[in-house]
A and B are shown apart, each in its own frame.
Chain A
Amino acid sequence: MSSCDERLVLRLVRGEETALGELYDRFAPLVHGLALRVLDDEDAAEQLTRDVFARVWTDPGAWDPEQGTLRSWLGTLTHRCAVQQLRAACGDEREVAARSAAARAHHAVASLPDPLRETIAPGHHDGRTYRDTARRLGISDQAAKHRMRLGLQLVAGELAAAREGCRPEPVPVAGRPGP
C-alpha cells in the first residue's frame, strides 16, 4: 500500500494540476517560512518558494521515499537552496552559518511527519493537556503521549546534530522550567 506522500507524487508525475495545488497548500507554509528565516527578505523568500515548487513540479521523481517523507525532503531542499542563495549574496561565512543553524531548529520541527508535528506544534498547548490534544486529533491518550515524547526525541536529536555541524556558533539550548 502506498503512502499518502507516494499517491500525491504519483499524481504530480501524471501532471495533475489538482495535485500541484494540494502540494502547495500542504507545504507552502514550510517552504516559505524556512526561506524567510534564512533569507530574511520577503521578496527573496517568495521567489525561492516559486523556484522550489517549480523544481518539484518539473521533476517529482527526484523524491526518494526511502530517504524520508516528502515534508522532510522539501524542507531539506528549501534549506539548501536558501543557504546557497544567501552565500552568493553575502560573503560573510559566519553570518551564513548562524542563520543556517537558526533555521535548522525550525526545520527540525517542520520536517517531522505530520502526526508527530501536530502533537508537539507550539500554540496548541496554551493551558491544554495531552488529553485535549488527543481529542482534537481523534487519537487515544496513549498515542498522544507517545507522539509527544517521540517527536521531542527526534527534535532533540536534530538539534544535537546541528550543534555538531556548527561548532563556531553553538546554538544555546535554554533550560525550561517544568510545568
Chain B
Amino acid sequence: MTAPGRHEALRSLLGAWALGACPRHEAAEVARHLAGCPECAEEAARLSGAAAELTPDDPLDLSSALRRQVLDWCLTRRPARLPIPAWAGPYAAESAKLDALMRDLGPAEWQEVAELPWHGGVQRWRPAEVLCHLTAVDGYLARSVGLPDPLGGARPPLVGRRPPVSRVPEQGGPEQGGPSGVLGRTWALITAAGGEDPEQVRRRWRRQSHDLLQAASVHGGDGGVPVDYGFAVLPLRDAFLDRAFECWIHGDDIARAVDYPYPPPAPAHLRRLIDLGARILPQLLAARRRAQPTAAAAVPGRALRLVIDGPAAGEWLIPLDGAGEGAEPVAEMALDGLEFCYLAAAHRDPDRIPVGEEGDREAIRQVLHALPLLSRP
C-alpha cells in the first residue's frame, strides 16, 4: 500500500521512471505503487511506450564542409546585410568546428587529458579546462568590443593549483603580462567553474564566441580597435585571427586526446593565419635576439623569402633585422602551410621540420627557431 500523500510524489516520478532514470530505491517504490494504482499504471504504460520510441540523437559530426556549402548557398540567394568581416571568417568557422566536436564528446571523453604544447612547456588540461582557457583569452577581445569580461569578479586563485613557472623570460609583469597573465585568467575561470558540468562550460564559451562575432559584424568596422593582451596590443582584426588560430590548434589538441578526426582550416582561412604569422615574425626575431645577447647581431637590409606550399600557397618577404623597406632576400625557405602553423604553435621541432632551403642557412635557422615564440599556453 502507498502511504497517503505519496501518490502525487510518485506520479511526478513516472517520466523519470519510464526513462530508467530513477535511483534504485525510488524505482522500487514506483513499481510497488503501480501494482495498486490503475491511474498511474495507465500513464506509466503510455510513457514507457513513448520512451521505447526514442532513438539516439542524430550524429552531430556533420562535416564542416557541409556547413560552408549550406551557408554559401544561402548567401548567394540573399546576400547578408551585415556580413561577417573577412578577418573574422576564420574564427567563425573554427569556433563552429570546435563546438561541433565538443557537442559530440561523451562523459568519458570529457575526462580525457589533452596535451597543449607551447614554446615554454606543455599544459595538460581536460576539454572543459581547455574551454575555460579559450574563454579567458577570448575575454581580452570581449572587453575591447564592450562585452563583459568572462572573469567577472573571479580573480586568479591565491591558493590551490598554481600556474607552472614559465621557462622563458616574462614579456610583461606577473599581474597582467605574458603567459602568466593568460594562465592567471585561465586558472581563475577553471577554479570558478569547479564542479560545473562540462556542458555549462561549453555553453558559456560558445555564447561568448557568438557574441564576439556579432559585435565584430555590427560594430567591428575595419577591425582597428586595439585589443590589449597585457603583453601585446593587436588590432581587433588580427586578434580575431589569433583567436581562430588558437581555437583550431587547441581543438586539434583535444581531438588528438579523444582520437577524433579534426580537419584543418579552409585554405583561404589558413592563408590569413599564415599571413598573421609572417607579419609578426620580425618582432619574434627581435625578441629572440634580445633574449640571447650572444647571438649574431642583426645585419640591416637582409630578408628571407618564405614560400608556402600546399592549398594555402603564397610568398612573403620577412625582414630579418626589423627594418622592412628595401630589404634584400639572402635566403629562401619553402614549407607546407600546415607545417608552418604547427611550428608557430610549437607543435613541431624547428630542427626537424622538413623545409626546402636555399641561401643563408643561419638566417633560415633563426627564423625556424623564432617562429614557435608565437605560441602561448
Interface residues of A (CB under 8 A from B): 11, 14-18, 20-22, 24-25, 28-30, 32-33, 36, 46, 49-50, 53-54, 57-58, 105-106, 108-109, 120-123, 125, 128-133, 135-138, 142, 144-153, 155-156, 159, 171, 173-176, 178-179
On whether the beta carbons of A17 and B84 are closer than 8 Å, the reply is: yes
On whether the beta carbons of B23 and A129 are closer than 8 Å, the reply is: yes
Check A14/B82 contact, CB under 8 A, given A105-B55, A122-B55, A178-B17: yes
On whether the beta carbons of A16 and B82 are closer than 8 Å, the reply is: yes
Tell me, yes or no, whether B12 is within 8 Å of chain A by CB.
Answer: yes
On whether the beta carbons of B82 and A105 are closer than 8 Å, the reply is: no
Check A138/B197 contact, CB under 8 A, given A18-B213, A176-B49: yes
Q: A28 to B22, alpha carbons, bound, how many Å?
A: 32
Tell me, yes or no, whether B47 is within 8 Å of chain A by CB.
Answer: yes
Q: A34 to B216, alpha carbons, bound, how many Å?
A: 34
| Residues of chain B lying within 8 A (CB to CB) of residue A109 | 53-55
| Residues of chain A lying within 8 A (CB to CB) of residue B19 | 120, 125, 130, 148, 152
On whether the beta carbons of B31 and A178 are closer than 8 Å, the reply is: yes
| Residues of chain A lying within 8 A (CB to CB) of residue B59 | 29, 33
**Min C-beta distance of A32 to chain B, whole Å:** 6
Interface residues of B in 31-85 (CB under 8 A from A): 31, 34, 44-60, 62, 66-67, 69-71, 73-75, 77-84
On whether the beta carbons of A24 and B197 are closer than 8 Å, the reply is: no
On whether the beta carbons of A156 and B78 are closer than 8 Å, the reply is: no
Q: Which residue of A lies closest to B12 (CB)?
A: A145
Tell me, yes or no, whether B214 is within 8 Å of chain A by CB.
Answer: yes
Q: Which residue of A lies closest to B212 (CB)?
A: A18
On whether the beta carbons of A28 and B70 are closer than 8 Å, the reply is: yes
Number of interface residues of B (CB under 8 A): 62
On whether the beta carbons of B82 and A129 are closer than 8 Å, the reply is: no
The listed residue (A28, A128, A142, A153) touching B21 by CB distance below 8 A is A128
Tell me, yes or no, whether B115 is within 8 Å of chain A by CB.
Answer: no
Q: A14 to B78, alpha carbons, bound, how many Å?
A: 12
On whether the beta carbons of B15 and A148 are closer than 8 Å, the reply is: yes
Q: A17 to B48, alpha carbons, bound, how many Å?
A: 42
Q: A179 to B305, alpha carbons, bound, how many Å?
A: 68
On whether the beta carbons of A49 and B66 are closer than 8 Å, the reply is: yes
Interface residues of B in 96-133 (CB under 8 A from A): 96, 99-100
| Residues of chain A lying within 8 A (CB to CB) of residue B78 | 15, 57-58
Name the residue in B16, B23, B49, B82 with the highest tally of chain A Cβ atoms < 10 Å from its Cβ: B16
Q: A137 to B197, alpha carbons, bound, how many Å?
A: 8
The listed residue (B71, B100, B200) touching A20 by CB distance below 8 A is B71
CB<8 Å pairs between A and B, sample of 24: A15-B79, A15-B81, A16-B217, A18-B213, A24-B67, A24-B70, A25-B96, A32-B62, A57-B74, A58-B77, A105-B53, A123-B57, A125-B21, A130-B21, A142-B12, A145-B12, A147-B15, A149-B47, A156-B49, A159-B50, A159-B53, A178-B34, A178-B44, A179-B22
Tell me, yes or no, whether B20 is within 8 Å of chain A by CB.
Answer: yes
Interface residues of B (CB under 8 A from A): 12-23, 27, 30-31, 34, 44-60, 62, 66-67, 69-71, 73-75, 77-84, 92, 96, 99-100, 197, 199-200, 210, 213-214, 217-218
Q: A135 to B47, alpha carbons, bound, how many Å?
A: 23
On whether the beta carbons of A57 and B77 are closer than 8 Å, the reply is: yes
The listed residue (B56, B73, B200, B217) touching A17 by CB distance below 8 A is B217
Q: What 10 pairs across the A-B complex have the smallest Cβ distances?
A: A149-B15, A15-B81, A33-B58, A148-B15, A17-B80, A156-B50, A130-B16, A176-B52, A155-B50, A57-B74
On whether the beta carbons of A16 and B46 are closer than 8 Å, the reply is: no
Name the residue in A21, A125, A142, A147 with the highest tally of chain B Cβ atoms < 10 Å from its Cβ: A21
**Min C-beta distance of B344 to chain A, whole Å:** 27
On whether the beta carbons of B99 and A145 are closer than 8 Å, the reply is: no
Q: Which residue of B lies closest to A59 (CB)?
A: B78
| Residues of chain A lying within 8 A (CB to CB) of residue B74 | 20, 50, 53-54, 57-58
Q: Which residue of B lies closest to A36 (CB)?
A: B58
On whether the beta carbons of B84 and A151 are closer than 8 Å, the reply is: no
Q: Which residue of A lies closest to B99 (CB)?
A: A25
| Residues of chain A lying within 8 A (CB to CB) of residue B52 | 173-176
| Residues of chain B lying within 8 A (CB to CB) of residue A156 | 46-47, 49-50
Q: A17 to B19, alpha carbons, bound, how many Å?
A: 39
**Known contacts A18-B210, A28-B70, then 19 further A-B pairs from the complex at CB < 8 Å, ordered by chain A residue:** A14-B81, A15-B79, A16-B81, A17-B84, A18-B92, A29-B59, A33-B57, A54-B77, A57-B78, A128-B21, A130-B16, A138-B197, A144-B16, A152-B15, A153-B50, A173-B49, A176-B51, A178-B30, A178-B44
